[in-house]
Amino acid sequence: MPSDRPSSPLPSSSQPSDELASSAFPLTLSDPHFGALIDAVQDYAIFMLDPDGRVVSWNRGAQSIKGYTAGEIIGQHFSVFYTPDDVASGKPRTELLLAASEGRIEDEGWRVRKDGSHFWANATITAIRAPDGSLRGFAKVTRDMTDRLRLVELQHASALSSHVQSAREEERTRIARELHDDLGQQLVALKMDVALLDQAATEDGKTARHTIAQTIALQVQIDSIIASARRIAGGLRPPMLDDLGLGAALEWLAAEFRNRYGLAVSVQNAADQLALSPTAATAIFRIAQEALTNVTRHAEATRVRVQMRVEQDELRMHVEDNGKGTTLDRNRGKENFGLLSMQERVRQLHGRITFDSAPGDGFRIDICFPIDAVKANQDDN
C-alpha cells in the first residue's frame, strides 16, 4: 500500500558516496538521523533517483513543493516534473547524463507540480557513486524560486515603468516646445501679416467694408488659435515648471482649472523655499494635475485645496475636495490609472501616499516625501 508519509530520503541499502562519507559532518547517509534530518527539510525538495531516473526517496519539502505524496511518486520517472516541451526535447535524460559525466549539474527553469501548475525551480542533480565508481543513482535538490522570480519581474516592471514615465515626459516637453516655439511663432507672424493687410485695406478708401470686417475676424480667429496652442502646450508641460519652478506651475494649473471649470482651486505652498529636483517637481505637478482632473471628472466639487509644507525631514502634500466622494476599494478597476500612477510616482521618490474618501465626504490625498529624495542635486539631471 502506498504511504502518504514522506519516505526516508535514501533507500536503506544506500552506501555513502566517497564525497559525502568523507564530510566533516558527523552523520552518514545510512544513519537514520541523517534521513530524519533530510525528511524534516521543508523548503527544499530532496530526493533520490535510481540510475534510470526513477524516484526512490521523497522528503517533506518535495511533497510540499511538488504536491505528490511519497506513495504517489516513488517508482515514477522524474520526467513527470518537467514541462511537456522539456520532456519532448529530452531535457531530463540530458541532465542525468551530464550529472553522471560531470558529477553535478545545476539548472533553473519551469517545473510542473502534481496539479499541473508551474513553479520556477532551482535544481541540482548530483551523481552518487559506489566506492568502486559504479553509478548508484542521483541526489536531486530542488528549490521553489517562484517568489524570487516574481520579485525580479516586479523590480523589472517597476524600472520599466519609471523609464516609460520619463520617456513620456521628455516627449511631452518636446511636443510642447514645438507647439509653442514653431507653431506659435508662425501664428504670430500670420497675425502680423493680417494686421498689415487690415491696415492697408483701411487706408485704401476703395476697399470694401466687408473685406475689412473679414480681416478683423481673421485676427480674432488667429488669436484664438494662438491661445489654444499655448493651452495645449501648457497642458503637455507648462514652460514655467522648467523656468520658474513648481510653485508657479501649480498656480498656473489652479488658474487653468478655475477658468475652465469654474472650480475654486486654492494653492497654499509653504514649501516654496525648498529647491526640488526636476524629477520631483515634475512628479508633484503631475500628481496635482491628475488630482484636479479627477475632481472635475468624478467629484462634482466646488472647492479644491492643494497644500504643500515641509515638516521635519519630509515634504508633505495634501489635496482635498468638497465633492461627492467615493467608496475607495470599489474604484480600483483595471482601466483606472490615475491613482495608480500617483502611487508609482510617489514610490519612485521613496514616499508614502494615502487616499481617503467616503460617499458624500469629499476626496483627500496625503503624500509624504523624504526631503532627501526630492531636493535638488539628488537628481541625475
Ligand X SMILES: Nc1ncnc2c1ncn2[C@@H]1O[C@H](COP(=O)(O)OP(=O)(O)OP(=O)(O)O)[C@@H](O)[C@H]1O
Contact residues toward ligand X (CB under 6 A) are: 294-295, 297-299, 321, 323, 325-326, 331, 336-340, 363
Which span (43-51, 117-125, 228-236, 331-339) binds Mg ion, by CB under 5 A? 331-339
**Residue number, 17 or 294, with CB nearest to Mg ion:** 294
Provide the minimum distance between the beta carbon of 300 and ligand X in the complex, in angstroms, as a whole number.
Answer: 8
**Residue number, 287 or 371, with CB nearest to Mg ion:** 287
Q: Residue count at the site for Mg ion (CB under 5 A)?
A: 2
Is residue 294 close enough to count as binding Mg ion by CB under 5 A? yes
DSSP state of 12: T
Residue 321 interacts with, from ligand X, Mg ion, none (CB under 5-8 Å by kind): ligand X
Sign of CA dihedral 177, 181, 182, 187: positive
Residue 357, SS3 per DSSP:
strand
Residue 325 interacts with, from ligand X, Mg ion, none (CB under 5-8 Å by kind): ligand X
Q: Strand (E) positions, the chain? A: 44-49, 104-112, 118-129, 135-144, 264-270, 303-311, 314-321, 352-357, 363-370
Residue 337 interacts with, from ligand X, Mg ion, none (CB under 5-8 Å by kind): ligand X
Provide the minimum distance between the beta carbon of 264 and ligand X in the complex, in angstroms, as a whole number.
Answer: 14
Sign of CA dihedral 246, 247, 251, 254: positive
**Residue number, 107 or 366, with CB nearest to ligand X:** 366
DSSP state of 354: E
Which span (73-81, 198-206, 293-301, 342-350) binds Mg ion, by CB under 5 A? 293-301
**Residue number, 123 or 339, with CB nearest to ligand X:** 339
**Residue number, 210 or 334, with CB nearest to ligand X:** 334
Provide the minimum distance between the beta carbon of 341 and ligand X in the complex, in angstroms, as a whole number.
Answer: 8
Residue closest to Mg ion when measured from CB atoms: 338
Provide the minimum distance between the beta carbon of 165 and Mg ion in the complex, in angstroms, as a whole number.
Answer: 16
Sheet containing strand 264-270, edge to edge, reads 264-270, 303-311, 314-321, 363-370, 352-357
**Residue number, 172 or 177, with CB nearest to Mg ion:** 172
Residue that is written with C-alpha cell 458624500 in the block: 360
Q: Could you give phi then psi for residue 286, rounded to 5 degrees? A: -65, -35
**Residue number, 3 or 293, with CB nearest to ligand X:** 293
Provide the minimum distance between the beta carbon of 337 and ligand X in the complex, in angstroms, as a whole number.
Answer: 4
Provide the minimum distance between the beta carbon of 262 and ligand X in the complex, in angstroms, as a whole number.
Answer: 16
Residue 276's nearest CA partner among 350, 344, 378 is 378
Which span (53-61, 82-90, 153-161, 335-343) binds Mg ion, by CB under 5 A? 335-343
Non-local (6+) Cβ contacts of 107 within 8 A are 95, 122, 123, 124, 125
Residue 363 interacts with, from ligand X, Mg ion, none (CB under 5-8 Å by kind): ligand X
In contact, 194 and 218? CB cutoff 8 Å: yes
**Residue number, 95 or 320, with CB nearest to ligand X:** 320
Is residue 296 close enough to count as binding Mg ion by CB under 5 A? no
Provide the minimum distance between the beta carbon of 353 and ligand X in the complex, in angstroms, as a whole number.
Answer: 12
Is residue 338 close enough to count as binding Mg ion by CB under 5 A? yes
Residue 331 interacts with, from Mg ion, ligand X, none (CB under 5-8 Å by kind): ligand X
Residue that is written with C-alpha cell 517508482 in the block: 75
Instruction: Supply angle C-alpha 19, 20, 22, rounded to 5.
Output: 70
Residue 298 interacts with, from ligand X, Mg ion, none (CB under 5-8 Å by kind): ligand X
- Counting other chains too, the contacts that 320-324 makes at CB distance below 8 Å and 24 or more residues apart are 320/362, 320/363, 320/364, 320/365, 321/295, 321/362, 321/363, 322/362, 323/295, 323/298, 323/299, 323/362, 323/363, 324/299, 324/300, 324/359, 324/360, 324/362
In contact, 107 and 99? CB cutoff 8 Å: no
Q: Which residues make up the interface to Mg ion (CB under 5 A)?
A: 294, 338
